[in-house]
Amino acid sequence: VLGNMLHKAGYATGHFGKWHLGGQRDVGEAPLITEYGFDKSLTNFEGLGPRVLALCDAHNGKPIKRHALGSDTLGRGKIEWVDRSLVTQSFTQAAIEFIRQSQRQDKPFYVNLWPDDVHGPWYPPEVRRGDGSKRELYLGVLETMDEQLGELFDVIQSDPQLKQNTLILICSDNGPEPGAGSAGPFRGYKTMLYEGGIRSPLIAWGPGLMEESVQGQVNQTSVFAAIDLVPSLLEITGTEPDENVQFDGENLAGVLLGQSDQSRQEPIYFRRPPDRDSFYGVEDLPDLAVRDGNWKLLCEYDGSQAELYDLKNDRGETKNVADDHPEIVNRLKKQVVDWQESMPADNGENWKDESKKKNKKR
C-alpha cells in the first residue's frame, strides 16, 4: 500500500531485502515485488524477482552450504549467489545505487532496506567468528551488518541536500533468539507474545526534519505499532491516501519527528505464528494477545487461561493480575477473541495434527 501510494505521488520506490510474500519453500506463484508499487527490487529467498542467495561458509574446512529453501528452483528473476556475510552489503549497495539514480533524475525517493541480518543462520566473516559459539557468531554478524548499513548512512549524512531532507527509520520485526540477542528486562523471546517476543526498538533520524532540541532524545512512553508507520509516513511526505482506504494504523507522525509523546488510541492485537504453540521449552504458549493502553492480556483462542499485566508498573510481565481485575479481563478477552474470529483463519489450532499427518506421509 505505501509503495503504491508514494509511487503515484511521484516518488521513486525501491525495495531491497527481505519480503516474505512468496518465494520461500516453493511459493512461486506470488506477485513480484514490483507489482506492489516498487520501481526496483532485490530480495532474498523470501521473495521473487532479482535476488541474492547465500553461500554459508563456516570456515572450518567443511563444504560450503547453500541457503535457499527452494528459491533457487523457482525462476522468476535473476539469481546471484554471494557469501552469507555479504548479503546485507548487496542490499545496501543496491539501495545506494537507487538513491543516486533518483538524485540524477531529480526525484524524491522511498526505500525499504530490509536485511535478513541479524536473523540466523549466522555466518560472519572468518575474522569475526570468535569462539564459534552462537552468541559470538551473532555478534559477529551484528558488527558486520552495522558496517554495511553504515555505508548508506554515510552517503545520506555526507550529502547536505539528503541530510536535510531524509528520514531514516530503523526497527526490527521481533525479539531475539535465546543464546543470541537479548530482550533485556522483557519476558520471552521470538515466537512468543510476551513483550520480549513482540517489542522492538524504533530509531528515527532526520536532522532536517526534527527540532534540534529533540534530536538524541528517547521516548519511552509512546505506544506505537508498526502498522502506524504507513499513515504517519504519508503525513510526513504530504501524500494523500487513496480514497476509501481504511488503515489499521494511526497517524503518529509527530511521535516519529519528536514533536509528541502521544500514543495510538486503538488496541494492538496479536496472534502467535500457527506452528509455535510450543517453543523454546514452553509447552503451551498463549495464542492471542491484546494491548490496550497500559493493559496487556494474553489468552488461548477461546479466551481461556487469561493472563493480565499492567505494563506501566510491570513491563517485565512478572505478575499476572487477572484475578484482581475481572472486568478488564472480560472486556479485553472479548475484544481479542472477536478480533481473532474476524481474521482470515490460520491452522494454529490444529497445527500439531496437521504436522503429524505430514510426517506420516513422508
Least confident of 38-42, 144-148, 271-275, 287-291: 271-275
Q: Which pLDDT belongs to residue 303?
A: 97
Predicted pLDDT of residue 98: 98
Q: pLDDT tier at 355 (50, 70, 90 boundaries)?
A: low
CA 342 to chain centre: 23
Q: What is the mean pLDDT of residues 169-176?
A: 92
Q: Looking at the predicted structure, is the pLDDT value of residue 181 above 80?
A: yes
Residue 361 above 60 pLDDT? no
Closest CA to 40 of 7, 74, 5, 16: 16
pLDDT digits (tens, 9 = 90+) for 224-282: 999 999 999 999 999 999 888 999 999 999 999 999 999 999 999 999 989 899 989 89
Considering the domain 2-263, what is its CATH architecture? 3-Layer(aba) Sandwich (3.40)
3-class SS letters over 178-190 = CCCCCCCCCCCCC
Q: How confident is the model at residue 362 (pLDDT cuts 50, 70, 90)?
A: very low
Mean pLDDT value across the chain: 93
Identify the pLDDT of residue 244. Answer: 87
At residue 232, the pLDDT reads: 97
The dihedral through the CA atoms of 17, 19, 25, 26 has a sign that is negative
- List the chain domain ranges: 2-263, 269-361
Among 257, 176, 260, 254, smallest CA distance to 215 is for: 257
Cα 298-301-305 angle, rounded to 5 deg:
50
CB 140, CB 122: distance < 8 Å:
yes
pLDDT at 109 over 80: yes
Specify the pLDDT at position 285: 95
Could you tell me what percent of the chain has a pLDDT over 70? 96
Task: With cut-offs at 50, 70 and 90, classify the pLDDT of residue 353.
Answer: low
How confident is the model at residue 269, as a pLDDT?
Answer: 97
pLDDT of 33-63, one tens digit each?
Answer: 999 999 999 999 999 999 999 999 999 999 9
pLDDT value for 350: 81
The pLDDT of residue 347 is 85
pLDDT score, position 357: 53
pLDDT single digits (tens) 306-352: 999 999 999 999 999 999 999 999 999 999 999 999 999 888 888 76
8-state DSSP, 42: E
Q: What is the pLDDT of residues 7-29, one digit of tens each?
A: 999 999 999 999 988 877 668 88
Contact between residue 77 and residue 48 where contact means Cβ atoms under 8 Å apart: yes
CATH topology for the 269-361 domain: Arylsulfatase, C-terminal domain (3.30.1120)
Question: What is the pTM for the complete model shown?
Answer: 0.92
Task: Give residue 125's pLDDT.
Answer: 96
